Structure 1
Amino acid sequence: MTGLSKRTLWLMTVGAGLVVANNYYNQPLLALIARDFQVSEAQAGSVAMVTQIGYAAGLFFLVPLADMFHRKRLILTIFPFIVLSLLLATFSYTLSWLVIASFFIGLTSIIPQLFVPLAATLSSPAEKSKSIGMVMSGLLIGVLASRVISGFIGAQLGWRYMFFIGATIMFIYWVLVMKTLPEVKPSFKGSYGSLMRSLVHYFRTDSALRLAAWRGACSFAIFTTFWTTLVFHLEAPPFYASSDVAGAFGILGIAGALVPAFLGKMIDRIDRNQLVIGLSVLTLISWWLIGIPGATGYGALIIGVLLIDAALQGIHLTNQAIIFAKHPEATNRVNTVYMTSYFVGGSLGTFVASLAWEHFQWTGVTLVGVGFALLMLAGHLLLYRYAN
């Protein structure tokens, strides 16, 4: 199958958002979950952390299979397990069961990371970055819009309803994929063991991939540091807001999620080194706005959200454009290396931010975010000259 129709591109763009949303429904609901199970906010935060660990595991062990098997068949095989995992979360009546369900939600909701390389594979060279940007924008809108929907559903109906609604959406989309998505033949011939060993080969031999993985890990740690703890910050003084307000902040993030769709059209004409430096500096400015000591209103926080999401999504698209252009024969495998690092960083950000909130509140969270941003910038400045 060659060529990427607009219908298929939109199917993957919308689907990327719908599937990835499963990983983020829990974040505006953490305070509700903590109260329901009578546990601390840090313990409830383990639901978000384990979901991201499951996603990283799925990226590492499942996504490479798309280079080895027919992609449509693989995608259709995974979908029933997404539905079952969401139903398990719906009917979990202890935190332990919810944590287990959350791991499998993350493990199976890796379909968007099959769609992004698929868009790159099916597109003509001139349209490749644009198509990647489209699917990435759909994915990122799903990440952020899921918080809006989840926060509202949680406040009105309770947190369990959100997971049940997610299971219903996944079943419907599964049927659409079955009827519409084109098939792509595998590009790798060999055993699963040799497939996985090739991941090590790409990581060891490609300095640009290693640097992209570092930037990706730091950028998603920044992202999860902010979004995991935002609900606790808004429930505390001076805001005293409910989960639906925290979820509504996702609307602001959607503006940043549109960045890949626009940047994808021009990224091949921009100096990527300067772009990464500029976006890293913008991230630091965003954290200054987000963490202004003594701020009592929403103004600086809103501007900070708009800027930080735009900056981080721009870095993410830049990273993927670099690695896909270098390895068209192994898009899923290099994406696995990159995205596994990305979500390991996200899990670390969630873990450290939860501890920072518990002991130092929002000031601690801000320092964690700034720390990850400085690590990202420092790594890039030290290593970009050797990335080729």
Structure 2
Amino acid sequence: MTAAIELQGVRRGTLTLLAIACGVMVATIYLCQPLLAEIARSLGVSPSQAALVAVVTQIGYTLGILFVVPLADSSDPVKLIRWMMSLTILGLLGAAFSPTLGVLLAASLCIAATCAVAQVLIPLATTLAGPEFRGRIVSRLSTGLIMGILLSRTFSGISAQWLGSWRAPFVLEAVLVAILLGVLPAYLPKRATPQGMGYLALLKSLPALLRYRELQLSMLLSFCTFAAFSAVWASLAFHLASPAFNLGSAAAGLFGLWGAPGALLAPYAGRLVDRWGPNRVNLISLCALAVCFAVALTWGGTSLVALVLVVNLLDFGQQSGQVANQARIFGLEPQIRGRLNTLYMVVTFAGGATGAFVGGHIWAIAGWSGICWLVGWLIVVAALVLLAAQAFSSSNVKAAG
């Protein structure tokens, strides 16, 4: 995004702070991933049981998006975000002091259900400038989001190893969210609370929005790509701890840092969306993921260098596709953007939960090669969906002509 964008009615540095907020909040649901092997040992459970923590966070995030984010279309965003962040802090502290897996799962569900602040901020931010900058605004905040996902693993893995406990990252994250809670409200744009639609009416209105073909396409593509993304990241800690590498949680966390360059290319995806439209950027995204699959299957089982390339391609493919998908749906009616984003993100994180769950079982059965083939099949399905949408669009244009 460039300095030429003129934001309306907000303080200087607002977009940067909103991007940071997206990253900090979404990080809370990914802290567990590099810690899964240590959680299993500490709580005396199997790896597949420990992997349920990653699954529950995806499910919880989906529930939060479904039942909380629609309020963005009818509530004061400042009050809504304060409420969500306060509950996230309580969940983080609950996770830090969990004595059993059951308590940790409950705390993780609380964290994930209330930390969906980014999904309130992103549609809100698209109202701050003209539609010609929509792709770049989504890209800026989505970059913060994906950097939070990636760097949360680095932060979590390293702090756990240095401080000698998998519980430490949850305490530190609670402190970060508390600091953000004190700063963020002053930068949020002031909006009059819309009248005339209550909470139940908002929820009841969601199914009717599924009529939009742009939303259908974005949801299907995102389900597939985020399932692939989650399957790889949920199994990476186990892969690095296997005899092929014998590495601990800090190494698993560092892969979030090694994958950051791929995520940092996302702002260019936003510019391409504004110039070429979302479909072409979705195609670029799927090409990156296809190369990721090939490298992971061929060399990722034994080479750390190959794994670094894999996570960069994975992060770029997921992030660029996300920018294209959200820019597509935010081009629809402005007054329903919160609910459109709700439906889109529910399906996205349903894909994430599916990928983490299936990936955990495939890892136990077929190891790294099984994860690679899962990713490959998901890419094929996404490509077929995009091609079918392109063909349908072309046939409609010809019929209209």
TM category (shorter chain) comes to over 0.9
What is the DSSP-based 3-state SS (H/G/I as helix, E as strand, rest coil) of the residue aligned with 1:122?
Answer: coil
Contact kept in structure 1, 2:300 and 2:306, CA below 8 Å: no
TM-score normalised by L of structure 1: 0.96
Tell me which residue corresponds to 2:273: 267
CA separation in 2, counterparts of 1:359 and 1:170? 38
Tell me which residue corresponds to 2:87: 81
Contact kept in structure 2, 1:4 and 1:119, CA below 8 Å: no
Which residue identity lines up with residue 355 of structure 1 in the other structure? H
Distance 1:174 1:256, change over 3 A: same
Query: Are residue 37 (structure 1) and residue 43 (structure 2) matched?
Result: yes
Further displaced range: 236-245 or 54-63 = 236-245
CA RMSD of aligned residues (A): 1.7
CA separation in 1, counterparts of 2:301 and 2:340? 43
Q: Runs of at least 4 residues of structure 1 off by over 6 A?
A: none
Deviation at 1:271, TM superposition (A): 4.6
Q: Could you list the per-position Cα deviations for residues 168-227 of structure 1 after superposition, in whole angstroms to 9, with x for gaps in the alignment?
A: 111111010233323222446212222112211111x20110110000111110110110
**Aligned pair partner of 2:168 in 157, 161, 169:** 161
CA separation in 2, counterparts of 1:271 and 1:36? 49
Deviation at 1:285, TM superposition (A): 1.6
**Aligned pair partner of 1:244 in 233, 250, 253:** 250
TM-score normalised by L of structure 2: 0.93
What is the DSSP-based 3-state SS (H/G/I as helix, E as strand, rest coil) of the residue aligned with 1:159?
Answer: coil
Tell me which residue corresponds to 1:322: 328
CA separation in 1, counterparts of 2:390 and 2:306? 32
Which residue identity lines up with residue 210 of structure 1 in the other structure? Q
Corresponding pairs, count: 387
Which residue identity lines up with residue 193 of structure 1 in the other structure? L
What is the DSSP-based 3-state SS (H/G/I as helix, E as strand, rest coil) of the residue aligned with 1:264?
Answer: helix
CA separation in 2, counterparts of 1:206 and 1:363? 37
CA separation in 2, counterparts of 1:293 and 1:14? 34
Tell me which residue corresponds to 2:21: 15
Query: Are residue 178 (structure 1) and residue 212 (structure 2) matched?
Result: no
CA separation in 2, counterparts of 1:278 and 1:201? 31
CA separation in 1, counterparts of 2:14 and 2:300? 49
**Aligned pair partner of 1:200 in 197, 200, 207:** 207
Which residue identity lines up with residue 250 of structure 1 in the other structure? G
**Aligned pair partner of 1:343 in 321, 325, 349:** 349
Contact kept in structure 2, 1:217 and 1:346, CA below 8 Å: yes
CA separation in 1, counterparts of 2:58 and 2:21? 19
Q: Unpaired runs of 5+ in structure 2? A: 1-6, 397-401
Which residue identity lines up with residue 51 of structure 2 in the other structure? G
Contact kept in structure 2, 1:85 and 1:102, CA below 8 Å: yes
Q: Percentage identity across aligned positions?
A: 34
Further displaced range: 300-309 or 34-43 = 300-309
Tell me which residue corresponds to 1:98: 104
Which residue identity lines up with residue 164 of structure 1 in the other structure? V
Contact kept in structure 2, 1:152 and 1:243, CA below 8 Å: yes
Query: Are residue 60 (structure 1) and residue 58 (structure 2) matched?
Result: no
Further displaced range: 363-372 or 100-109 = 363-372
Q: Unpaired runs of 5+ in structure 1? A: none
CA separation in 2, counterparts of 1:139 and 1:183? 23
CA separation in 1, counterparts of 2:146 and 2:290? 21
Tell me which residue corresponds to 1:189: 196
Which residue identity lines up with residue 342 of structure 1 in the other structure? T
Contact kept in structure 2, 1:17 and 1:140, CA below 8 Å: yes
Deviation at 1:4, TM superposition (A): 4.6
Further displaced range: 98-107 or 366-375 = 366-375
Tell me which residue corresponds to 2:263: 257
Deviation at 1:69, TM superposition (A): 0.7
